[in-house]
């Protein structure tokens, strides 16, 4: 539950033009990654080192749960045929080992990694 | 199309960068073993995490060879193995025996491979592989791999039904299991570790220069570390089908008009690095194309499934003249070569079509999905087929009429096709376009029967350097028989561990 002071800060931040060199951030992450000073906490995903790292599964898991837990949320019915898309988080090729960032991109449009070879459609996927 | 194109562009970029990275820099000339400050030490380092790497690492651990480290340059285990079709040719497999097929044997498999290899195969390597087929099968079973119940088929180029298939029809059924078992048994796996160079002491490999936390395909990412290998380095890094520059250098016919079935990481830089240090290459220009490819989808795709119907129940037609042009049931190379001759005068592909009866396959998954994904279309008449794909109508009708006469006679006088599965064709049809995709490199590093890499000057084994799987060359010859790549990788992983153990004792 956001306290009123954070709501005010959030409103203020949204009303302020974003800095020219700022990375685009998804709205659903902006809410939780904006600190009391109105700035986005880049270190939350990228770490404190000067040379930023690409987030690994552990980073995403700190909020979203383990890859296995995420896979359960997108589980398909046991008797589903080819008309139901495969579970994107539990691949027949890689199990639950695919890095989150293979598909989910924070600073640009996300894409379905599987569609190098397949033509899966996931309309509920946040892009 | 956006997703596929962007990924393909990425692959092309990797190919160009990959060549540069693979060539040892001038600085590496000074990096002899005695000058190296090692960051880490292991007994055995395995390069690559496909079937061959996973099998080698697990079997090396089981042979008591000490600490085993697998390096994978991508962010996920499996390479091409994880995305392959999960087929495994095993003479005398339990399902085959249960089907009452008692006249198969390793030697029968070798005979089929000799035909496929067009006389350029290494028969001793093939025989060794075939003789260990049941060991490879047992390795899978022991790891918990499930195969389709009662499923054992005769596939292209094989004279017997001996190909079994994993439960889900993907190699990931095997890679995920071998990976899990390997972890339990103490194998160490490192992702995003790119091999920059070998550290040699004369003709002996003593370790690797590795880029840690590498992010494919950016060659500037990560930091350099040196890992010493006390006993052996096993190269299991696969083929180079994704390396557009290299494959066109060794076979100019494999130009950019051919897409690739492979995973993005199949760029083969480690093969070039090994060659730069004296490893002997063989059959580098022998590159297999999958004749089942579709220009309307990227990568391995669904076309393979669709054409498992099309090549048996339908025919292929040249859109420029409306005639058949090949035996649709011949092997991969014969079909691919025939398909690739379909060109416009300017040399651009005139993609041939394959079509079969729609009404015989209503509801089939292979068809439903292909139509949904727009790699196949339903056409209601000869006129619609001719119009949609710009085929001469009169000749098209004549081609089908002539073919239909041959069906009940079970003969194909034009191309000698096996006609046991052929049916007479009548509209409506399911039709798709075909164009080969680069699939498998028969060439690679020359090894002896024990998987030791041979040196190009001495023709003797390079001490402590081994190679297995698609990274090696010479075994299959002119073209690889279907469902034998997985067999080779798994068996050679067993054999290389045995070799290293005996070499250590020598």
Q: Beta strands B188-191 and B68-72: pairing type?
A: parallel
Query: Does position B40 have pLDDT exceeding 90, yes or no?
Result: yes
> What pLDDT shows up at residue B154?
87
Full DSSP string of B261-303? -S-TT---HHHHHHHHTTBPEE-TT-EEEETT--TTS-SS-SH
Is there a contact between A93 and B175 if contact means CB atoms under 8 Å apart? Answer: yes
* Percentage of residues of chain A with pLDDT beyond 90: 18
A120 at interface of B, judged by CB pairs closer than 8 A: no
Task: Find chain B residues with C-beta within 8 A of A116's C-beta.
Answer: 3-4, 7-8, 264, 298-299
Alpha-carbon span A43 to A48, nearest angstrom: 5
Alpha-carbon span B9 to A125, nearest angstrom: 24
Give chain A's count of helices (H) and strands (E): 5, 0
Q: Chain B residues with CB-CB distance to A under 8 A?
A: 2-4, 6-8, 75-78, 82-83, 168, 170-173, 175-176, 213, 215, 261, 264, 297-302, 365, 368-369, 372-373
Q: What is the mean pLDDT of chain A?
A: 78
Buried/exposed code over B160-180 (b: 16+ C-beta within 10 A; e: otherwise) = bbbbbbbeebbbbbbbbbbbe
Buried/exposed code over B99-120 (b: 16+ C-beta within 10 A; e: otherwise) = eebeebebebbbbbbbbbbeee
Query: Does position B39 have pLDDT exceeding 90, yes or no?
Result: yes
Average pLDDT of the segment spanning B9-32: 48
B454 within 8 A of B461, measured Cβ to Cβ: yes
Is there a contact between A92 and B172 if contact means CB atoms under 8 Å apart? Answer: yes
pLDDT tens-digit readout, B96-133: 999 999 899 999 999 999 998 989 999 999 999 899 99
Alpha-carbon span B417 to B241, nearest angstrom: 29
Query: Does position B424 have pLDDT exceeding 80, yes or no?
Result: yes
Residue entry with tokens 């005996």: B502
> What pLDDT shows up at residue A9?
54
> What pLDDT shows up at residue B157?
86
* Of the listed ranges A81-95, B9-23, B239-253, the one predicted with least confidence: B9-23
B59 within 8 A of B494, measured Cβ to Cβ: yes
User: Pick from A82, A99, A119: which is nearest to B75 by CB?
Assistant: A99
Is there a contact between A118 and B302 if contact means CB atoms under 8 Å apart? Answer: yes
B342 within 8 A of B428, measured Cβ to Cβ: no
Output the CA torsion B165→B168→B171→B176 (10° steps).
Answer: -130
> What pLDDT shows up at residue A55?
86
Alpha-carbon span B132 to B478, nearest angstrom: 22
Q: What are the backbone dihedrals phi and psi of residue B52, each rounded to the nearest 5 degrees, phi first?
A: -65, -45
Give chain B's count of helices (H) and strands (E): 15, 18
Task: Find chain A residues with C-beta within 8 A of B168's C-beta.
Answer: 92
Task: Find chain A residues with C-beta within 8 A of B365's C-beta.
Answer: 81-82
Alpha helices by DSSP H, B63-105: 94-98
User: Pick from B8, B76, B215: which is nearest to A94 by CB?
Assistant: B76
Handedness of CA A76, A78, A80, A82 (dihedral sign): positive
Average pLDDT of the segment spanning B280-284: 95
Mutate to test the interface with A, among B9, B14, B79, B83 (most CBs of A within 10 A): B83
Alpha-carbon span B361 to B120, nearest angstrom: 40
Average pLDDT of the segment spanning B74-97: 94
> What pLDDT shows up at residue A18?
44
Mutate to test the interface with B, among A103, A118, A122 (most CBs of B within 10 A): A118
Q: How crowded is residue B49: how many other Cβ atoms within 10 Å of its Cβ? A: 31
Q: Given phi > 0 = left and psi -120 to 50 = alpha, else beta, which region is B424? A: beta
> What pLDDT shows up at residue B72?
97
Q: Beta strands B429-433 and B377-379: pairing type?
A: antiparallel
What confidence category does residue A82 fall into, taking pLDDT thresholds of 50, 70 and 90?
A: low
Query: Does position B293 have pLDDT exceeding 80, yes or no?
Result: yes
* Of the listed ranges A111-120, B233-242, B414-423, B429-438, the one predicted with least confidence: A111-120
Average pLDDT of the segment spanning B335-347: 93
* Of the listed ranges B110-119, B197-206, B278-287, B361-370, the one predicted with least confidence: B361-370
Query: Does position B7 have pLDDT exceeding 50, yes or no?
Result: no
Both structure tokens of B267: 């760029």
Is there a contact between A112 and B3 if contact means CB atoms under 8 Å apart? Answer: yes
pLDDT tens-digit readout, B198-236: 999 998 999 999 989 897 999 889 989 999 999 999 999
What confidence category does residue A73 fall into, taking pLDDT thresholds of 50, 70 and 90?
A: confident
Average pLDDT of the segment spanning B52-81: 96
CA distance A41 to chain B (A): 23
A104 at interface of B, judged by CB pairs closer than 8 A: no
Is there a contact between B215 and A54 if contact means CB atoms under 8 Å apart? Answer: yes
Alpha-carbon span B48 to A44, nearest angstrom: 32
> What pLDDT shows up at residue A10?
54
Alpha-carbon span B297 to B371, nearest angstrom: 12
Is there a contact between B175 and A97 if contact means CB atoms under 8 Å apart? Answer: no
- Nearest Cα neighbor of B492 from B42, B145, B54 is B54
Helix (H, G, I), strand (E, B) or coil at B310: helix
Query: Does position B496 have pLDDT exceeding 90, yes or no?
Result: yes
Extended beta strands in B18-99, E state: 40-47, 68-72, 87-89
pLDDT tens-digit readout, B464-488: 999 999 999 999 999 899 899 999 9
pLDDT tens-digit readout, A14-70: 544 444 446 778 888 877 888 887 878 888 888 877 666 788 888 898 899 999 999
Query: Does position B1 have pLDDT exceeding 80, yes or no?
Result: no
B442 within 8 A of B293, measured Cβ to Cβ: no
Alpha-carbon span B439 to B260, nearest angstrom: 6
Alpha-carbon span B261 to A122, nearest angstrom: 23
> What pLDDT shows up at residue B235?
98
CA distance A54 to chain B (A): 9
> What pLDDT shows up at residue B302?
80
Query: Does position A6 have pLDDT exceeding 60, yes or no?
Result: no
What confidence category does residue B410 fall into, taking pLDDT thresholds of 50, 70 and 90?
A: confident
A17 at interface of B, judged by CB pairs closer than 8 A: no
Residues with Cβ within 8 Å of B432's Cβ and at least 6 positions away in sequence, in order, are B294, B296, B303, B306, B307, B310, B353, B354, B355, B370, B375, B376, B377
Q: What is the mean pLDDT of chain B?
A: 91
Task: Find chain B residues with C-beta within 8 A of A119's C-beta.
Answer: 297, 302, 372-373
How many residues in total does chain A contain?
A: 127
Query: Does position A2 have pLDDT exceeding 50, yes or no?
Result: no
The C-alpha angle B176, A86, B357, rounded to 5 degrees, equals: 110
Is there a contact between B78 and A94 if contact means CB atoms under 8 Å apart? Answer: yes
* Residue positions of B annotated with a catalytic role: 332
Cis bond leading into B428, ω under 30°? yes
CA distance B146 to chain A (A): 13
Largest CA distance in chain B: 76
How many residues in total does chain B contain?
A: 506
Query: Does position B173 have pLDDT exceeding 60, yes or no?
Result: yes
Query: Does position A5 have pLDDT exceeding 70, yes or no?
Result: no
Extended beta strands in B63-113, E state: 68-72, 87-89
Residues with Cβ within 8 Å of B150's Cβ and at least 6 positions away in sequence, in order, are B95, B98, B99
Residues with Cβ within 8 Å of B317's Cβ and at least 6 positions away in sequence, in order, are B323, B324, B325, B352, B353, B354, B355, B391, B396, B399
> What pLDDT shows up at residue B58?
98
Average pLDDT of the segment spanning B36-46: 95
User: Pick from B76, B213, B369: which is nearest to A98 by CB?
Assistant: B76
User: Pick from A81, A102, A117: which is nearest to B301 by CB?
Assistant: A117
Which chain A residue is nearest to residue B166, measuring alpha carbons?
Answer: A92
- Please give the DSSP secondary-structure letter assigned to residue B349: B
Which chain A residue is nearest to residue B81, measuring alpha carbons?
Answer: A93
> What pLDDT shows up at residue B59?
97
Mutate to test the interface with A, among B11, B70, B169, B176 (most CBs of A within 10 A): B176
User: Pick from A83, A92, A111: which is nearest to B3 by CB?
Assistant: A111
> What pLDDT shows up at residue B27?
45
């Amino acid at each position: 539950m956001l306290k009123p002071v954070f709501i005010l800060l959030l409103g203020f931040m949204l009303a302020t033009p974003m800095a020219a060199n700022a990375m685009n951030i998804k709205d659903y992450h902006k809410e939780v990654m904006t600190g009391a000073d109105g700035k986005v906490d880049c270190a939350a995903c990228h770490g404190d080192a000067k040379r930023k790292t690409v987030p690994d599964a552990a980073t995403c898991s700190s909020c979203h749960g383990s890859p296995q837990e995420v896979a359960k949320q997108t589980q398909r019915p046991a008797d589903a045929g080819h008309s139901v898309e495969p579970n994107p988080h539990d691949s027949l090729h890689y199990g639950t080992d695919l890095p989150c960032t293979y598909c989910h991109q924070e600073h640009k449009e996300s894409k379905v990694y599987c569609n190098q070879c397949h033509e899966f459609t996931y309309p509920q996927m946040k892009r | 199309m956006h997703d596929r194109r962007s990924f393909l562009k990425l692959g092309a970029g990797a190919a160009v960068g990959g060549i540069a990275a693979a060539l040892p820099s001038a600085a590496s000339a000074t990096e002899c073993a005695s000058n190296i400050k090692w960051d880490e030490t292991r007994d055995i380092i395995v390069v690559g995490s496909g079937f061959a790497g996973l099998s080698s690492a697990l079997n090396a651990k089981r042979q008591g060879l000490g600490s085993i480290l697998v390096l994978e340059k991508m962010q996920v285990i499996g390479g091409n193995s994880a995305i392959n079709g999960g087929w495994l040719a095993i003479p005398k497999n339990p399902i085959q025996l249960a089907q009452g097929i008692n006249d198969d044997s390793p030697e029968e498999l070798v005979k089929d491979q000799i035909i496929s290899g067009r006389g350029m195969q290494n028969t001793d390597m093939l025989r060794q592989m075939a003789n260990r087929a049941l060991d490879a099968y047992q390795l899978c079973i022991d790891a918990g791999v499930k195969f389709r119940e009662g499923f054992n088929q005769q596939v292209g180029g094989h004279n017997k039904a001996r190909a079994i298939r994993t439960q889900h029809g993907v190699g990931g059924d095997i890679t995920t299991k071998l990976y899990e078992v390997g972890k339990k048994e103490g194998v160490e796996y490192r992702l995003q570790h790119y091999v920059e160079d070998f550290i040699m002491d004369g003709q002996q490999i003593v370790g690797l220069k590795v880029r840690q936390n590498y992010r494919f395909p950016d060659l500037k990412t990560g930091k350099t570390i040196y890992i010493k290998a006390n006993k052996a380095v096993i190269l299991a890094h696969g083929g180079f089908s994704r390396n557009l520059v290299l494959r066109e250098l060794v076979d100019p016919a494999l130009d950019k008009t051919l897409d690739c079935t492979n995973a993005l990481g199949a760029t083969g830089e480690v093969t070039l690095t090994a060659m730069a240090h004296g490893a002997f290459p063989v059959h580098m220009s022998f590159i297999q194309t999958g004749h089942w490819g579709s220009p309307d989808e990227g990568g391995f795709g669904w076309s393979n499934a669709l054409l498992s119907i099309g090549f048996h129940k339908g025919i292929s037609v040249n859109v420029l003249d409306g005639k058949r042009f090949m035996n649709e049931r011949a092997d991969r190379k014969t079909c691919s070569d025939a398909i690739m001759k379909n060109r416009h005068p300017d040399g651009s592909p005139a993609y041939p079509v394959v079509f079969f009866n729609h009404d015989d396959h209503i509801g089939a998954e292979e068809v439903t999905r292909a139509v949904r994904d727009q790699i196949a279309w339903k056409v209601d008449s000869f006129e619609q087929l001719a119009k949609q794909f710009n085929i001469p109508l009169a000749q098209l009708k004549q081609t089908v009429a002539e073919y239909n006469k041959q069906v009940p006679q079970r003969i194909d006088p034009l191309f000698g096709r096996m006609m046991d599965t052929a049916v007479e064709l009548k509209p409506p049809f399911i039709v798709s376009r075909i164009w080969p995709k680069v699939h498998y490199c028969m060439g690679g590093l020359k090894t002896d029967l024990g998987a030791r890499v041979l040196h190009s000057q001495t023709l003797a084994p390079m001490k402590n350097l081994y190679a297995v799987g698609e990274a090696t060359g010479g075994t299959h010859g002119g073209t690889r028989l279907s469902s034998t790549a997985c067999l080779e990788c798994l068996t050679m992983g067993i054999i290389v561990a045995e070799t290293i153990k005996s070499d250590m004792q020598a």
